[in-house]
Amino acid sequence: EAGVVQSPRYKIIEKKQPVAFWCNPISGHNTLYWYRQNLGQGPELLIRYENEEAVDDSQLPKDRFSAERLKGVDSTLKIQPAELGDSAVYLCASSLGGGSAYEQYFGPGTRLTVT
């Protein structure tokens, strides 16, 4: 069974440029998560989707970040414009459901460097 797929794996952009990350979750997983992981830190949740509905986006910096999950399958996370502080690894995860009992399966992440 294929795991969570993310692309690109690496991205280098100049500040003020836009950038987008793509995630395809494990087949059948209704819940999708986007995390940001800064160097030396644990992942921090940005947004959680239940099917196509964003049910928790309280940590998403909405002035520059946006996300969508059309048709409740794959998802895109966008930053516009990017700032130096956005340099991090952006992780996508999916789970069968949104309940606490479900473990999350993570993709390899996209390492973003903003110069």
Partner 1 sequence: AQKVTQAQTEISVVEKEDVTLDCVYETRDTTYYLFWYKQPPSGELVFLIRRNSFDEQNEISGRYSWNFQKSTSSFNFTITASQVVDSAVYFCALISGTYKYIFGTGTRLKVLA
Question: Which of 61, 72, 81, 108: binder of partner 1 (CB under 8 A)?
Answer: 108
Write each residue from 8 to 47 as x if it is in contact with partner 1 (CB under 8 A), else as -, in one continuous string.
-----------------------x--------xxxxxx--
Contact 56, 47 (CB under 8 A): yes
Give the dihedral sign, CA 25/26/32/36: negative
Q: Which residues contact 97 (CB under 8 A, 6 or more apart)?
A: 30, 31
Counting residues that bind partner 1 (by CB under 8 A) gives 25
Q: What is the contact surface with partner 1 in residues (CB under 8 A)? A: 3, 31, 40-45, 48, 56, 89, 91, 93, 98-101, 103-109, 111
